[in-house]
Amino acid sequence: MKLTVEALRRALLATADAIEQQKDELTDLDREIGDGDHGINMSRGFQGVKKELEAQNSLTDLGELSKLVGMTLIKTVGGASGPLYGTAFVKFATKWKDKQSAEGEDLFAGFKEATEGIKSRGKSQVGQKTMVDIWEPFTAALQTDTSLEKVIDQALADTKAMVATKGRASYFGEETKAVQDPGALSSSILLKNIAEVLLHD
């Protein structure tokens, strides 16, 4: 499993398209247990990323690419998801600085740093029904042989069953058990697209 600049770029473009496809679904989940903008926010952010990637297609450094994506998300998304996704990519950049690809421990270190970054930015931890509940098991699975796709699916199912205690969803308490967390769903979209390029490259 190796993440190249080209593969990450491909995964990001695929994510941008998938977000467009599932924009309404993300927004509707956020209407149920939030404020009804997550699809709109993610779409604005990843369309921004797509534009940047198309404008700057000569990047050969995984760190530079991650930083560009992180800064773009921070500057375009806003809300809670902007700083969180933005921080994740900025943290990739600190670990993948000057690298043209990442694998093994390097790959893991990037995701570990990103997940910790999300948690410390959001003052959150696993079990609170947020995107953390996707990022954390995904990162752990990088050090095992389990299928990443299966891990994500299982994490999604687990997250759905949780009671939210962080972010806007926390206002709705027990009720949130019946509804998927929108940030968990969008994280699964991104991480599945990354898993895809990791497995097939």
Partner 1 sequence: MQVLSNYYNIKRNQKEEIDMDKLMQDANRFVSDIVDGLVLAHPNQYEKVEGLNVVKRKGGAIADKVGLVSGGGSGHEPAHAGYIGDGMLDAAVCGEVFTSPTPDMVLEGIKAADGGAGVLLVVKNYSGDVMNFDMAKDLAELEGIQVETVVVNDDISIQNEEDRRGVAGTVFVHKIAGAAAASGKSLDEVKQVADKVISRVRSMGMALSPCYMPESGKPGFELPDDEMWIGIGIHGEKGVERKAVAPVKDIAAQLVEHLTAEVTDKRIAVMVNGMGGTPVSELYLTYKYVSELLEQKGYEIVRPYVGNYMTALEMHGFSITLLPVDEELLQYLDASSKAIGFLV
Ligand X SMILES: Nc1ncnc2c1ncn2[C@@H]1O[C@H](COP(=O)(O)OP(=O)(O)O)[C@@H](O)[C@H]1O
Please check whether residue 163 is in contact with residue 174, taking contact to mean a CB–CB distance below 8 angstroms. Answer: yes
Asked if 84 is part of the footprint of partner 1 (rule: CB under 8 A), the reply reads yes
For 21, phi then psi, to 5°, come to -60, -40
Upper half-sphere CA count for residue 186 (Cβ side, 13 Å): 32
DSSP code at position 143: T
Subset of residues 124 to 163 that bind ligand X, contact rule: CB under 6 A: 124, 130-132
Torsion-angle region of 59 (φ positive above 0: left; ψ -120 to 50: alpha; else: beta): beta
Stretch of 5-13, 103-111, 120-128, 140-148 contacting ligand X, by CB under 6 A: 120-128
Q: Please select the residue that binds partner 1; options are 17, 28, 64, 106, rule is CB under 8 A.
A: 28
Q: Is 168 in the site for ligand X (CB under 6 A)?
A: yes
Contact partner, 184, from partner 1, Mg ion, ligand X, none, Cβ < 5-8 Å per class: ligand X
Tokens of 135: 């990022």
Site membership for partner 1, residue 117 (CB under 8 A): no
Name residue, tokens 């991104």. Answer: 190
- Residue 4 sits at φ, ψ, to 5 deg, of -95, 165
Q: Does 86 bind ligand X (CB under 6 A)?
A: no
Length, in residues, of the chain:
201
Q: Is 166 a residue that touches ligand X (CB under 6 A)?
A: yes
- Residues 52, 68: contact at Cβ < 8 Å? yes
Question: Are the beta carbons of 76 and 82 closer than 8 angstroms?
Answer: yes
Judged by CB under 8 A, the number of residues near partner 1 is 32
Among 17, 168, 177, 196, binds partner 1 (CB under 8 A): 168
**Binds 44: which of partner 1, Mg ion, ligand X, none (CB < 5-8 Å by kind):** partner 1
Residue 34 binding ligand X, by CB under 6 A: yes
Interacting residues toward partner 1 by CB under 8 A: 24, 27-28, 31, 34-37, 39-41, 44, 74-84, 121-122, 165-168, 170-172
